[in-house]
Structure 1
Amino acid sequence: MNFIWIWNGKKIKQYMIVVVAAFFTAGVLYVERSQITVFSPSAEATAIYKAETSEKKIALTFNISWGEEKAIPILDILKDEEINNATFFLSASWAERHPDIVERIVKDGHEIGSHGYRYENYPQWEDEKVRKDIQRAHQTLYELTNKAPKLLRPPNGNFDKRVLKIAEAQKYKLIHWSIDSKDYGNPGVEQIISNVMDNVTGGDIVLFHASDRVKQTHKALPTIIDHLKDKGYEFVSVSELITSTEADSSEIK
């Protein structure tokens, strides 16, 4: 009887080990599945905000969502300064109303990225609504430019990990910025210049606006461009910046 009792005890221990191992494996799989759900399609949720490079390359970017008076003067300045590779993030509903300005942007050689269709905060929307807005903007900009945009800057620049996942699933790279001119608040020409020049380094993506609400950007821009040229900076599009250098990104919580 003692022999039988000892044998059963060993068997129980073996079964216990198997059961514990099974629970541990199930737990790992559950965690991994949760991680896949959170981080898919990439390992981490990231947005590009600058390029890590020792070269003096910089990307000027302009958001447009409203109006028609300020875009042309800014385009004229860029042309006078012989810059033909800025990146314009266009609200597609605005682009529909101003196809002539869109045509001018393309004709001048600038890159066009998507700024969504409706100018509202994506994080407040359900997944499907965000997805449809990105798709509608994509189709609209493609019809206007005959070129599919590949870069997305969400309305107001607002996004979270969920929005980033949706954008990546639509084959978009989500672009933020590393230098904010803060021109949207019309703080004064000298302040806009200072906001850009005080901390600029190679690989920066600079945020400007070309909507009618900005009253001082076109006044500050020539000085900013001249200062950057004097410091030896080369102007490139966002796509060129991130493909020719190692992109720097930040994790979205």
Structure 2
Amino acid sequence: MRFFYTLDARKVKQLSLIIVISFFTALFVYTSSISTQSVFSTSDGPKAIYKGEKGIALTFNIGWGDEKAEPILKELKRLKVESATFFLSGAWAERHPELVEQIAKQGYEIGSLGYAYEDYTDIEDSKVRQDILKAEAVFKKLNIKDIKLLRVPTGHFDKDVLKVADKLGYTVVHWSVDSKDWTNPGVEKILENVTKAKKGDIVLLHASDSAKQTKKALPAIVKQLSSKGNFVNVTHMISNGDAKSTIIP
């Protein structure tokens, strides 16, 4: 009798575990299905968007460098890509006003990458605020007004960073597809990383000098992704979309 009691207890534990796993799986599927625009957020509101519902957003970070941005802009023009979003560090923009002007003239959206390209999770909230505002002042001098999108330098953020950005009127924009082009893994690997993108995805690319293979990868990227949806900027993608939230601890 003792043997059968032990066996039954094990079965009960296994059954309980299966029920718990099934419950959380169902909860995850449900919460995923009730929204079309995905975000990270704090429990009291501020959020970082990483997915939308309309089109595909090509986004380019530029934090430093003198050589790669212009060729990438020319290649996008050649490929007739009319919508994209460039996140520029204020320090870079300050040194390259002619390229900032070219980005705007080609009709591309400009977002902020802060000023000094510091990891916001490593500095005090007051320093984060100062960095964002310093970049904002640079863009205003360059006649780039009303920037409301912020991609945090290095991509690292926490609830405090989200709150600072929100108080300054910025929406933090992350990404759902990472090309990893800055690691220079080869054009084929960049394409492999990017072609998983589908409608609603925000794709991370770079136009800094560290990304030596991005320009070569662009024709294949544009060909592959244009068959899945229209290219849109981030603001267009996230406008009028419902959002779900994942809590940032």
> TM-score band (shorter)?
0.7 to 0.9
Cross-structure match for 1:209: 206
Structure with larger Rg: 1
Normalising by the residue count of structure 2, what TM-score does the alignment of the two structures yield?
Answer: 0.80
1:80 to 78, 98, 105: 78
Cross-structure match for 1:143: 141
Q: Using the alignment, how far apart are the partners of 1:170 and 1:45 within structure 2?
A: 11
Q: Using the alignment, how far apart are the partners of 1:180 and 1:140 within structure 2?
A: 28
Q: Using the alignment, how far apart are the partners of 1:140 and 1:182 within structure 2?
A: 28
Q: Which residue identity lines up with residue 242 of structure 2 in the other structure?
A: E
User: Which stretch has the larger CA shift, 104-113 or 243-252?
Assistant: 243-252
* Number of matched pairs: 209
Instruction: Check conservation: 2:198, 2:225, Cα contact below 8 A.
Output: no
Residue 91 of structure 1: how far off its partner (Å): 0.4
Work out the percentage of aligned pairs sharing the same amino acid: 54
1:69 to 30, 47, 67: 67
Q: Which residue identity lines up with residue 51 of structure 2 in the other structure?
A: K
Q: Using the alignment, how far apart are the partners of 1:219 and 1:244 within structure 2?
A: 35
- Structure 2 residues without counterparts, runs of 5 or longer: 1-40
- Structure 1 residues without counterparts, runs of 5 or longer: 1-38
Q: Deviations over 1:123-182 (max 9, x none)?
A: 111111111111111111122133121000011111111011000000000000000000
Cross-structure match for 1:221: 218
Cα-Cα RMSD: 1.6
Q: Using the alignment, how far apart are the partners of 2:245 and 2:60 within structure 1?
A: 20
User: Which stretch has the larger CA shift, 69-78 or 138-147?
Assistant: 138-147
Q: Which residue identity lines up with residue 110 of structure 1 in the other structure?
A: Y
Q: Using the alignment, how far apart are the partners of 1:85 and 1:133 within structure 2?
A: 27
Matches within 5 A, 1:5-154: 43-51=44-52, 53=53, 57-154=55-152
2:232 to 201, 214, 236: 236
User: Which stretch has the larger CA shift, 137-146 or 112-121?
Assistant: 137-146
Aligned pair in 2 of structure 1 residues 97, 169: CA closer, same or farther (>3 Å)? same
Q: Using the alignment, how far apart are the partners of 1:248 and 1:88 within structure 2?
A: 25
Aligned pair in 2 of structure 1 residues 67, 128: CA closer, same or farther (>3 Å)? same
